[in-house]
Amino acid sequence: MKKLIVLVFFLGLGLTVTAQNAEGNPVYTVKENKIYEGDKDVTDVLSEEKRIAIFATHETEMKMQEEKERAEIEKEEADTLKEEKEQALNKAAKEKEEKIEQAEKEEEKREKELKKNEKDLKKAEKKQKQAEKALKKKEKAQKSFDKANSKLESSQKKYDKLKKKGKLSPEDEGKWLKKLEGLKEDIKKAEKKLRKA
């Protein structure tokens, strides 16, 4: 704020000096502690008051010029700093966005892998159930086959025993043979089921 006030003051002073020059007053320039009017050295010709006033005005103009140059440099530095900060912010925002996109892609990939793993697991569970079902079916078929075999053996032994003792009538013998034939058929069926299972 102080710089602004000083700048306004010097601008006003500069306008006053310029206005005085426009009214027909001579234009003086100061070089190396000498006052010139055009190309002519007039330092010794001017009164002490006039010299002091011209040197003061010159010093004020030089300070104003320095302030103006300093203000321009500070503005350029501020603009450069602002631009650098904006670039840094843009870069940080872009990097953050890229990281978010990368994280989203990785999450998507993990979800796909998870779904694939779940699908594979369901397939494996289904295969395992099918295998267990097939095993139970085979075990059941084996059990039926063993049972039919056992029944045939036991019936055959009983038949042979009765026949040996001669306790079978021709009618009973026919029934036994029919029964044994049925048991043999049962074994064939059970064996067929066992092969399929």
The DSSP annotation for 157-174 comes to: HHHHHHHHHT---HHHHH
pLDDT at residue 19 in the model: 40
pLDDT at residue 22 in the model: 47
pLDDT, one tens digit for every residue, the chain (197 residues): 666 665 656 655 554 544 444 455 778 888 888 888 888 888 788 788 888 888 888 889 889 999 999 999 999 999 999 999 999 999 999 999 999 999 999 999 999 999 999 999 999 999 999 999 988 988 888 888 888 889 889 988 988 888 888 888 888 888 888 988 998 898 888 888 888 87
Its pTM stands at 0.42
pLDDT at residue 10 in the model: 64
User: Hey, where are the domains in the chain?
Assistant: 2-86, 137-196
Look at residue 116 and give its three-state secondary structure.
helix
User: One-letter amino acid identity for 10?
Assistant: F
pLDDT at residue 116 in the model: 94
**All residues at 6 or more sequence positions from 28 whose CB lies less than 8 Å from its CB, including other chains:** 35, 36, 37, 42, 54
* Degrees, nearest 5: CA angle 168-171-172: 40
Going through 84-158 in order, the beta strands assigned E by DSSP cover: none
